[in-house]
């Protein structure tokens, strides 16, 4: 029989997971019953063609990365972290310029940047991050049970752990800038704002959410993190639909990444007290 003390020790974890499920469930029910808030009517055939081309290119990049990883053990180097993030920033900036200058769309209105006040964005981001973290840990634990010896953390996570152990604050700063600022802004614009927004008009919200979330998770080219990233992407989409502002999933994403980096840092400094995510 299970040890009663072990079961008692797990009660806070069960409560945290239950709260996370409740919060995300309430958001889903709210969106389903009171309607979604993401504007899709502004997106038209030019945007649809762009998503097809970009998604096709992304699939090619994902396939090439997977084949490369199968042939040689690849590690992310610190000198490639910022350039890799800036690549997505440039793509996002190009799309934004096209929407503004060519399509004459008002970016603030299309992506609901004026729908939620800044303090409310911070509140949403922090609250949703706290609610999702236990779910992320649970999904990661279940993934470890399934993959067993094949479980492998993301290369960037491993790199951050190494530079944290070495007290390389410059390298840590580059990774933090990438993970907590550049990636959330560019990835949320691309996957939630653009891909989901366009596909929502032509495929409906459910198919669009699943498709954009699959692409988002696959872009990280890590099987072990795929389930957690897919669920995270769905929750980010829910946050976007619940509030109507792209700033909320950006803040949620940034808060989640920053929290993971903080735990990794604390684990490197105090390995017997803090466990990595």
In order along its 277 residues, the chain shows pLDDT tens digits of: 455 655 566 678 889 999 999 999 999 999 999 888 999 999 999 999 999 999 999 999 999 888 877 554 456 788 889 888 999 999 999 999 999 999 999 999 999 999 999 999 999 999 999 999 999 999 999 999 999 888 888 888 889 989 998 989 999 999 999 999 999 999 999 999 999 999 999 999 999 999 999 999 999 999 999 999 999 999 999 999 999 999 999 999 999 999 999 999 998 877 766 666 5
Other C-beta atoms lying within 10 Å of the C-beta of residue 3: 8
Residue 164 lies in a domain: yes
Residue 93 lies in a domain: yes
Residue 41 lies in a domain: yes
Residue 9 lies in a domain: no
Residue 172 lies in a domain: yes
| Closest C-alpha among 21, 90, 30, 63 to residue 215 | 63
Residue 155 lies in a domain: yes
Tokens standing for residue 81: 């972290």
| Cα atoms found within 13 Å of the Cα of residue 169, Cβ hemisphere only | 0
Residue 42 lies in a domain: yes
As a whole number of Å, the CA-based R_g of the chain is 19
3-state helix, strand, coil in the chain (%, to 5): 80, 0, 20
| Structural domain boundaries, residue 71 | 14-269
Residue 51 lies in a domain: yes
| Closest C-alpha among 137, 132, 121, 133 to residue 249 | 121
Number of domains in the chain: 1
């Amino acid at each position: 029989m299970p040890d009663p003390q072990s079961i008692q020790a797990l009660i806070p974890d069960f409560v945290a997971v239950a709260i996370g499920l409740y919060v995300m469930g309430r958001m889903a029910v709210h969106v389903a019953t009171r309607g979604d808030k993401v504007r899709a009517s502004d997106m038209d055939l030019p945007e649809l063609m762009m998503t097809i081309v970009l998604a096709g290119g992304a699939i090619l990049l994902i396939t090439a990365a997977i084949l490369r990883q199968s042939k040689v053990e690849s590690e992310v180097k610190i000198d490639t972290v910022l350039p890799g993030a800036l690549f997505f920033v440039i793509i996002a900036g190009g799309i934004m310029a096209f929407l503004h200058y060519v399509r004459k769309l008002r970016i603030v209105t299309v992506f609901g940047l004026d729908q939620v006040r800044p303090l409310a964005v911070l509140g949403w981001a922090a609250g949703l991050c706290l609610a999702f973290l236990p779910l992320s840990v649970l999904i990661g634990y279940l993934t470890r049970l399934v993959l067993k010896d094949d479980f492998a953390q993301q290369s960037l996570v491993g790199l951050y752990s190494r530079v944290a152990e070495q007290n390389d604050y410059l390298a840590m700063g580059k990774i933090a800038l990438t993970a907590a600022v550049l990636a959330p802004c560019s990835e949320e614009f691309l996957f939630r704002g653009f891909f989901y927004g366009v596909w929502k008009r032509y495929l409906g919200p459910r198919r669009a959410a699943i498709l954009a979330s699959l692409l988002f998770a696959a872009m990280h080219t890590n099987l072990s993190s795929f389930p957690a990233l897919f669920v995270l992407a769905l929750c980010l989409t829910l946050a976007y639909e619940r509030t109507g502002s792209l700033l909320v999933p950006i803040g949620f994403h940034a808060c989640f990444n920053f929290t993971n980096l903080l735990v990794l840092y604390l684990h490197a400094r105090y390995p017997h007290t803090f466990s990595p995510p």
